[in-house]
Amino acid sequence: MPSDSYRSLCDEFYIEMYVNTELDLPTQRDTILTFFERLQRQFPSMGHLYRRAKNEYCLEEDRNLGQYRWISLEVDRVGSGIVNPLNFEQAYGQDRLVLELMPYMLGVSQLDIDCLDVTFAMDFDYAGNHDEVIAEALFGSTPFGCFLDLRSAKPIGFSPAVVVALSDDERTQARISVESKTSVLEPRQKSRSLDEAITLSLTIRQYPPPSGEFDTLESFGHQCRMVEELMDEKLVPYFAQPLTEVIAQKRLT
């Protein structure tokens, strides 16, 4: 399924990659600026550099455009992503460049990599109670749903997350999560701000083998193929479409 088909099911679709490291990343001014300047030469529209927290930096495009790239350096991970990409390759090309530059510009060697994550995520804008939407869309016919039959029962904490191993050695894993932004501390709140969305995400995580080399580019390509396949076969029909249908029904009532 192409990326624009995902966008037709949700309000925002984004692709992210994270390289999690064992050691802290460099914090020298020259190293950070040189890394971001090299990326900016490839993507000239990425002109906004800012510090989010101590030793955490981000370079990104203008968010007001609706579609934008970003690259981040945190204490122990490198991130790369694009919101509402025109196609998968638009994101993958950026991610591959980051992987190619890391060893030379940030000193991130194979020995330093804890794991590599590739994430596809969808945001569904809804101003009402997110937990009610998730409960109705995903839990109605499950054993958990029986609790909603209790007198005065109301869902106030439905943000499921599941991790499954996809290889015999358990070093390839998938994490599926549905995140509600409705606070469990405010169960009587009737509506939410439109800038707070239900987030559905699928992450394929790869841990390096205990011995031998870890080819990040090869692993990245394999993880991208896996996440695309699982999105089409599992996430869209069993998660995204039910969420979309319940939101549409609730907006009509």
Would you tell me how many other CB atoms lie within 10 Å of the CB of residue 151?
4
The strands making up 172-179's β-sheet, listed across from edge to edge, are 48-53, 56-60, 68-73, 77-83, 12-21, 113-125, 197-206, 172-179, 161-165
The pLDDT, as a whole number, for residue 188 is: 55
How many independent structural domains does the chain possess? 1
CA atoms within 13 A of residue 251's CA, in its CB half-sphere: 11
| The predicted structure's pLDDT at residue 137 | 94
Q: Are 116 and 173 in contact (CB under 8 A)?
A: no
State which residues form the domain around 239: 3-252
Write down the pTM of the prediction: 0.93
Q: Mean pLDDT by 10-residue block, N- to C-terminus, for the chain (253 residues)?
A: 80 97 95 97 95 92 93 97 94 97 95 97 94 92 83 87 96 97 64 72 96 92 98 96 94 82
Indicate the SS3 state at residue 65.
helix
Question: Using alpha carbons only, how large is the chain's radius of gyration in Å?
Answer: 20
